Amino acid sequence: MADLSATWERELLEQFSCLTAATDEEPHLNTADITSESSDNTTGLLHLSDEVLLVILRNLDPVSLLRLGSTCSLLFRVCSCNFLWTTHFQDSFGVSLTYTHARCPVTAKTAFRLVFMWRSLFRNIHCNRAFQEKLFVEIPLAPHKYWIQWLVLEESVPLPSVRLPCSDVEKLWGITADLFQDKLHEKTEDCDNLKFEWRELYHLALKHHGSVSLVFQHVLRQHQNSGEICIPFYETRCETCLLIKCYCSSLLGVSSHVLTTCFFSSGIQTVGNYFSMCKSLVAWILGRDWGRLKRRKVYEDTLEGVYLLLRREMQETLIEHERFWQVAKVQMTRVCTLEETAANYVNWKMIESLPYYKLYLVSGNSVYLDHVQGFLRRKRLIWDWIYLEENGWARQLLPESLYTLLEFDTKISQESLHGDCVTAQLSRLMWLYLNSGQELFLQALKGMVLQCAQACLSHLNTLQA
């Protein structure tokens, strides 16, 4: 378990270091906003050239790229660029697209969409009944030509051998008869069909086209206008996820994301095994008289810690109950330690979104516990400062949104950190100070609060005059 802890600790630290690095430059921007008047000459994302945008956007994953492209027409155009989606196609499917219109007339974005839907369907064929019926209904004859063309992209297909006419083999994949001369003797006057194994068809297509990339491009060229056929089956695969989500929220409090991840990566058997152990954990917690620790949040955080440590293991094999309990008891001890550190439920809910919270769960390293304590201490320091007698005038003048943000029990959400409004700027300064402890950010925060209060006072004086 030590190795797993170390691995997850490294991964979470890498994510947090990226976030920290991204915010290292932000203080200069924020403090500049505080000390100087705003200007209309600021440069935003939409002012950048297409070339600069491409350099920035190539760091986004496909989902983020799609979301950004849905915000406006300019970003939609840039986010649909072949350069970006060709890279994602290579990274996701291990196949490079040679982009000439003659070879692959569909855009890289459309190609990614089609292959992504197909791969998602094929990977989860064992739990998609509607899709199974489409593929198995005609056996020993071939499935519909649309599906059979996609199937040849896969080297290993869980279907029996198929019988096809020679003309169909050439029409579907361009494979000429000279590549399967040894099979022609199987033809009879009554039947023109030849028997092929799926692996055999895959290698014939590969031999004819010369590379996997060219096979993909041939199939995409055939399907450029028929992607909608995939959509109903792709949506059907999500029905089980909706059932899981309802079951989670109503009974066990298990994250639906956790179970859908298990479902798509390892199948329904892993989900059933996980549910079984979750029920056992509920019974174990509820069956003991632990006072304030006998609550839902103890169970949920314990389960999250177990999942963080066992996620990769669960994708490869079914977890034994003994292994689950070994990890669950360690995780519950850490959750109880975090609860004691928080001192009360309000503080506990406030620290649960901190990166150090999860880092402590997966590693048990007391350094992260110290960071959590430091966060709470600094939050209290801000609250004490605003309630000083000398700052009473500022409390009376501050807008409700800013005053609430300064109160001790206010939780800063990730969404509130974005934007140019005063609340977002103050949220960023608080977040930087609470997570770093640097005095620079505290002084900038105090200056901004007093400046806002002074601006409100000046506005009131103007109205009275």
Q: What is the pLDDT of residues 375-432, one digit of tens each?
A: 999 999 999 998 898 988 888 888 888 888 888 777 787 777 888 888 888 989 999 9
Average pLDDT of the segment spanning 24-49: 52
Query: Quick check: is 68 in a domain?
Result: no
Largest separation between any pair of C-alpha atoms in the chain: 105
Mean pLDDT of 208-226: 78
Q: Report which of residues 145 and 365 the model is more confident about.
A: 365
Does 125 reside within a domain?
A: yes
Which of 14-23, 78-87, 149-158 has the weakest average pLDDT? Answer: 14-23
- Domain extent at residue 374: 11-36+366-465
Share of the chain above pLDDT 70, in %: 66
Q: What is the pLDDT of residue 146?
A: 76
What domain count does the chain have? Answer: 3
**Same domain membership, residue 258 and residue 228:** no
Q: Which of 50-54, 173-177, 188-192, 293-297 has the lowest mean pLDDT?
A: 188-192
What pLDDT is recorded for position 28? 43
CA 363 to chain centre: 22
Question: pTM for this structure?
Answer: 0.45
Q: Is the pLDDT of residue 212 over 70?
A: yes
Residues 285 and 389 in one domain: no
Span 175-184, average pLDDT: 71
Q: Looking at residue 19, what is its pLDDT?
A: 43
Q: Torsion angle of alpha carbons 196, 200, 201, 204, nearest 10°?
A: -130
The answer to whether residue 7 scores a pLDDT higher than 70 is no
* Boundary (domain end) residue, out of 186, 206, 236: 236
Residue 93 lies in a domain: no
Mean pLDDT of 49-57: 84
Report if residue 2 sits inside a domain.
Answer: no
Torsion of CA 143, 146, 150, 155, to 10 degrees: 30
Average pLDDT, the chain: 74
φ/ψ (deg, to 5) at 442: -65, -45
Please answer whether residues 57 and 78 qualify as being in contact, where contact means their C-beta atoms are separated by less than 8 angstroms: yes
pLDDT of residue 25: 45
Query: Is position 326 within any domain?
Result: yes
In a domain, 358, yes or no: no
Residue 438 lies in a domain: yes
The reply to whether 208 and 293 lie within a common domain is no
372 in Cβ contact with 341 (< 8 Å): yes
**pLDDT tens per residue across span 164-177:** 777 777 777 777 77
Q: Amino acid letter at 323?
A: R
Per-residue pLDDT, averaged over 62-87, amounts to 85
Shared domain check, 133 and 214? yes
Top mean-pLDDT range of 97-101, 201-205, 461-465:
201-205
Listed residue (376, 378, 314) closest to 349, CA to CA: 376
Residue 443 in any domain: the answer is: yes
User: Are residues 374 and 312 part of one domain?
Assistant: no
Looking at the structure, tell me whether residues 119 and 177 fall in a common domain: yes
Domain boundary among 209, 236, 263: 236
Residue 138 and residue 210 in one domain: yes
Pick from 52, 47, 107: nearest CA to 81? 107
Q: Who wins on pLDDT, 112 or 134? A: 112
Q: Based on the fold, state whether residues 207 and 272 are members of the same structural domain.
A: no
Instruction: Please tell me the least confidently modeled range out of 100-109, 215-224, 246-255.
Output: 246-255
Higher per-residue confidence, 273 vs 260: 273
Same domain flag for 461 and 393: yes
> Exposed, middle or buried: residue 373 (CB in 10 Å: 0-12, 13-18, 19+)?
middle
Helix/strand/coil for 85: helix
Which residue shows structure tokens 């959400």?
413
**Are 334 and 377 in a shared domain?**
no
The pLDDT score that the predictor gives to residue 128 is: 64
Segment among 30-34, 144-148, 447-451 with least mean pLDDT: 30-34
**390 and 338 together in one domain:** no
Torsion sign over Cα 332, 335, 341, 344: negative
